[in-house]
Structure 1
Amino acid sequence: MNAKLPTRSGGQILIDQLKIQGVDRIFTVPGESFLDALDALHDADTIDTVVCRQEGGVTYMADADGKMTGRPGIAFVTRGPGATNASAGVHVAFQDSTPMILFVGGLDRRDKDREGFQEIDFPAFFGPIAKWAARIDDARRIPEYVARAFRVATAGRPGPVVLEIPEDMLTDEVETADRPAIPPIAQPPCAGAVGAMIDLLKDAVSPVAIVGGADWSPKAGHYFAEFATRVGLPVAASFRRQDAVVNDCPVYAGQLGYGPNPKLQQRIRDADLILAIGTRLGESTTEGYTLVTPDHPGQTLVHVHPDPNELGHVYHADLPICADMAEFAEMVADWLDDDLVPFSLGHEAHAEWLEWSTPQPRDGVVMDLGPCVAAMREALPANTIICNGAGNFSGWWHRYWHYGPQPTQLAPTSGTMGYGLPAAVAAALRFKDRPVVCVAGDGDFLMNGQELAVAAARGADLLVILVDNGGYGTIRMHQERDYPDRISATQLTNPDFVTLAQSFGGWGKRVESTDAFEPALKDAMGRSGIRLLHLITDINVITNSKMLKG
């Protein structure tokens, strides 16, 4: 006999489902289109509501939170401009394989298809950049849609889900049953397939692994590093996945992407066996699908991924393995085979990376970022979280910073600007006992600099290293290469960033030379709250691509 269910508003039902699914934090810019959900949050003591200043910051923070926890980052925005602003972070989550759920307040159902105020067909708009995009028209079905959203966002290759929640639907008073929490799906690896991979390793002369990506976790990193160290297998991190294994792992070989070690690139080209573990082998990791080609003639490819739809999607895999990353890594770590003779390649590759990641002072460079990163390595612990957006400035940290266990790198593989500061705010709220550093360029920082207001409101501790060359450095570099002596639209006029930090209640210091950086960093580390070091660099130095190549 069914017991009578309580009557609740759609907004209350929605928030109840988030509590059931274990949500402890949401990010939002409030809108009148979801007031009933906001009202339900008023009494939701287990959910921390982080109020942001722009919807792009909302979804960047939600993406960062999803990366750090492995659970969907939750975002709420309003219709029209709110949703379109938020789309940038949805795209990041899609390309980065990050679990996220975005709720978009929608128009009243009775006004659908009239091009009412701020109306957009959200399932159509978000469809190409989300795993699933839908509209909830019946409040009774909210538990069904939310449960499905959590499953879709986390299963296989994780990614973003977008649910439109019409304003009048949220105020409907209905009876409906809650759905239980969605447990994670772990696809165990096939022992036969893992055995086949081990056999390929036994026959290989120059194997290499490329790791990091969908479903990667600290557990996966720990066990795979244990396996790779035992067999002497060089481990390269895919683009902006440098915390996939701790960088002091004795077989860690460095990162792929922009500005990698040429010796690592040659090692990939010379490999007779490539183990792609978790990575999609995307454009950035493979230098436009040339470092490892989709058909990779003369090389054997083992591709391990949690989503069967990814296997064979672009790359022909000689041995495809569909498996949960942690389950796979644990199985190979426990695999014993006396006939598998350890390689010396891993230790050789690690030595090459150590040499590559050790900065040397450069004559004639007033502000040399390499020694600045080295000074940061001395002053900050291994569990420091480094957050950055896009720009030439990031290459110095990609090359010279030594990343600890995941999560210690929050950086978008999609190459979006403006990501670093919102990610740093999310990290400072999630890990209050760990140092958090936002590394940003001047153009990059001002795309979401307003989120310093969130850090100030929440009393967050974070350090901003702001690299200012007065221009869009990456575009300037390409411009000088393709259109020499015809500089156009890449110069920037900037504010006084130290004063800007102070206006948010923070502390700042202008740094104009390499020698001045270390004492300024020490000063910053002795303080709390918002701290900003404004590094003045030369546009002619930072746009010289040779700085990161040799």
Structure 2
Amino acid sequence: MNNTIHGGQAIVDSLQLHGVSRAYVVPGESYLSVLDGLYNADIQTVVCRHEAACTYMADAHGKFTGKPGIAMVTRGPGAAQAYTGIHTAWQDGVPLILFVGLIPVADRNRESFQEFDPNQWFSSQCKRVFILDEVSRASEIVAKAFHAALEGRPGPVVVGLPEDIIKQEFHGQLHPVIPVAEGGVADDKLTIILDALSNAAKPLIFAGGQNWTPEASEQLTQFAEDNHIPVIHDWRASDRVTFDSPAHAGYLGYGRSDECAALIETADVLLTVGTVLGDVASDGYRLRQSFDKPNYIVNLDTSLRGHSGSVTEHIVASPISFTKAISKASLASSDSRDVWFNYCHQQQRKDCALSNQETENISVSADPSYASMTHVIRELVALLPTDAVYSFGAGNHCLWAQRYLPTHTFPSQLSTRNGAMGYSLPAGIVAALESPERLSVVVTGDGEFMMNEAELSTSIRYQAPVLIILMDNQQFGTIRQHQEAHYPGRISGTQLHNPDFAALANAFGAHGIRVASNRDIKTSVTEAMQVVTKERKTVLLHVITDPDELMP
């Protein structure tokens, strides 16, 4: 009996050894051997319609599960279109492995069909670039790619697969999984942190980044609540502490409230867990930049890449190990800390409130030919299950999702921190595939949605129902807002002509609903929820909004 396998099969067998259950692919003739290996594998092959969506799905998978998302594309144009997902994972610090089929080794440096140099293209935006030049190393490189994607600050890894190499016979054993260190918290370091928090009148925890689990989220929440320390979230990472927890103090970044910006400036001690105070969270390196402000940082990245401001103490540990270490700690009570704790949460509740009076005023005064996005979100929130998952990409429509949609468990918010458009639908599909028992809600805009609208077919084909709230204001709204600020009254290059999105959804096999007036909102949202939850069918709610409604 001949047990010989080819290199493509060795790669797939190694993926299974690493616990991979799903791969997101756009097929190409350059890696047919890997596709052949997937034929009988216990790995679901999700065929995507565009390479950017493929890598977005792998990124969302990394965010949602904490394990590297697997994307596969072909050489040249395929790799070029996947680059935006690599940049997204790089800036967000997300574990992702992109397998790229390459030209045969003998064809290199001859300007052969779809030839490119993976190192030159990707090395500035990923942690490692591996090229499989010896079939005997196929399994080893997979193991090293997983380790590189997960160790320290997580990130993307690119693996190049020459077409001729992966066809060759593979001999040898599969390389075992390489353990990844979570770091640790020494007793003396923990004492430093606890003393700083105990002695502070206005301590603040800043949470975000990767390496979180539901348990870590719960432990941080419990510690913060028990010891009356407010938690403010990094941009697009508002699910580390539950939405209605008394410890929740809001979020930083684009769309943040002035009160949240004031909190991080006012805090006399800042404890950063899992992330760094970077460009967006610091309002372009303006917030908390004074070097006399104490900043304690818990992060596995020894380089603290992207951090600005002082570093009082750096503990090299993941949120998982740190929250476990700190979870049983108890601080002495403090009246000043109690006042600060209550104040911070009150600001968050005020900023995130969707009052009946607000929406009643909207329904009376608004133009009857448009529907209010705020009113739509209010009706949606009233019907949402507590474990819903929200996905959104980039654009002003995200402000409604970020501000109002309640996150009650981790993970429940999938988005991008690099402003990548076209992310929302692919990410929502991932949530529906990974946790079919939870409702996956996609909030998108007309410009953002049209960058990957073809993935509606992916949602339908793989029975991954999502509820899509599409804000249609016939423009790239974020850019128009910047335009109005710098060149008022001179709208140029930001207007769009859109299709009937509800009809488009129906054409794909989804359920489209058009909402063009406030009077249609309640019945439309109710219908959408019934179809997506009862019939398990993708629903697109096409919301026609006033072009001047740029923000909540």
Global fold match (TM > 0.5): yes
**1:338 positional shift:** 4.3
In 1, are the aligned partners of 2:63 and 2:210 still within 8 Å (CA)? no
Q: Which residue of 102, 106, 112 maps to 1:110? A: 106
State the distance in 2 between where 1:182 and 1:6 align.
26
Alignment correspondent of 1:332: 326
Deviation per CA, 1:182-225, whole angstroms, max 9, x where unpaired? 33422111221111011111221211111011312222211111
Identical-pair percentage: 39
The yes-or-no answer on 1:469 pairing with 2:473 is yes
CA distance in 1, matches of 2:512, 2:333: 59
* 1:487, distance to aligned residue in structure 2 (A): 1.2
1:278 aligns with 2:303: no
Q: Does 1:224 align with 2:185?
A: no
Q: Which runs of 5+ in 1 are unaligned?
A: none
Which residue among 520, 530, 547 is the counterpart of 1:539? 547
Paired with 1:216 and 1:7, the residues of 2 have a C-alpha distance of: 40
The 2-side partners of 1:32 and 1:379 are apart by 46
Conserved 8 A contact 1:210-1:275 = yes
AA paired with 1:170? I
d(CA) in 2 for partners of 1:300 and 1:394?
A: 32
1:402-425 Cα deviation digits (max 9, x unpaired): 212111101001111100001111
Aligned match of 2:313 in 316, 319, 322? Answer: 319
Is the 2:202–2:266 Cα contact (8 Å) retained in structure 1? yes
Which of 15, 19, 40 matches 1:43? 40
Task: Provide the C-alpha distance between the structure 2 equivalents of 1:410 and 1:167, rounded to a whole number of angstroms.
Answer: 34
Structure 2 residue 158 is matched with structure 1 residue 162? yes
Which amino acid is 1:28 matched to? V
Superposed displacement of residue 314, structure 1: 4.1
Superposition deviation, residue 340 in structure 1: 7.0
1:53-452 alignment, distance < 5 Å: 53-293=49-289, 296-310=290-304, 314-338=308-332, 343-359=338-354, 360-361=358-359, 362-363=361-362, 364-366=365-367, 367-452=371-456
Q: Secondary structure at the match of 1:390?
A: coil
Alpha-carbon distance in structure 1 between the residues aligned to 2:263 and 2:320: 26
Equivalent residue, structure 2, for 1:26: 23
Cα 1:313/1:501, change in 2 over 3 Å: closer
CA distance in 1, matches of 2:137, 2:410: 37
- Give CA-to-partner distance per residue, 1:302-326, whole Å, 9 cap, x none: 0110121217964431111111211
* Distance of 1:516 and 1:79 partners within structure 2: 48
Q: Which residue of 2 aligns with 1:509?
A: 513
Q: Is the 8 A contact 1:369 1:514 kept in 2?
A: no
SS in 2 for 1:253: strand
Q: Distance in 2 between the 1:87 and 1:278 partners?
A: 25
Range 369-378 or range 490-499, more displaced = 369-378
Aligned pair partner of 1:493 in 494, 497, 510: 497
Give the Å deviation of 1:534: 0.5
Comparing 464-473 with 326-335, which one deviates more in the overlay?
326-335
SS at match of 1:102: strand
CA distance in structure 2 between the aligned counterparts of 1:435 and 1:203, rounded to whole angstroms: 43
8 Å Cα contact 2:22-2:45 kept in structure 1: yes
Deviation track 1:95-154 (CA, whole Å, cap 9, x = no partner) reads: 111111000000000111112111110122011110111211001011111111111101
Write the distance in 1 (CA, Å) between the matches of 2:148 and 2:392. 28
CA distance in 2, matches of 1:489, 1:461: 34
Residues 242 and 312 of structure 1: is their aligned pair in 2 closer, same or farther, counting only changes over 3 Å? closer
Distance 1:193 1:311, change over 3 A: farther
Conservation of the 8 A alpha-carbon contact between 1:374 and 1:401: no
TM-aligned CA deviation for residue 337 of structure 1 = 4.5
Q: What's the counterpart of residue 6 of structure 2?
A: 9
| TM-score, normalisation: structure 2 | 0.94
Structure 2: gaps (5+ residues): none
Q: Bigger CA drift: 439-448 or 519-528?
A: 519-528
Q: Is the 8 A contact 1:201 1:340 kept in 2?
A: no
Greater Cα offset, 473-482 or 178-187: 178-187
Cα pair distance change 1:458/1:339, threshold 3 Å? closer
Task: State the distance in 2 between where 1:217 and 1:124 align.
Answer: 35
Q: TM-score, normalised by structure 1?
A: 0.95
Q: Secondary structure at the match of 1:439?
A: strand
* CA distance in 1: counterparts of 2:527 and 2:503, whole angstroms: 17
Contact 1:242 1:403 in 2 (8 A): yes
Tell me the CA shift for residue 353 of structure 1.
1.0
Instruction: Give the deviation of 1:540 after TM superposition.
Output: 1.5
Could you report, residue by residue, the CA deviation over 1:434-484 in whole angstroms, capped at 9, with x for unpaired residues? 101111100000000000011111122111100000000000111111111
Task: Report which stretch shifted further, 335-344 or 246-255.
Answer: 335-344
> Displacement of 1:391 after TM fit?
0.5
Q: Which residue of 2 aligns with 1:458?
A: 462
* CA drift at 1:7: 3.2
SS at match of 1:225: helix
- Distance in structure 2 (CA, Å) of the matches to 1:317 and 1:297: 8
| Cα deviation code 1:41-89 (max 9, x no counterpart) | 1011x10000010101100011111111110000110000100101111
* RMSD, aligned α-carbons: 1.7
Aligned pair in 2 of structure 1 residues 491, 337: CA closer, same or farther (>3 Å)?
Answer: closer
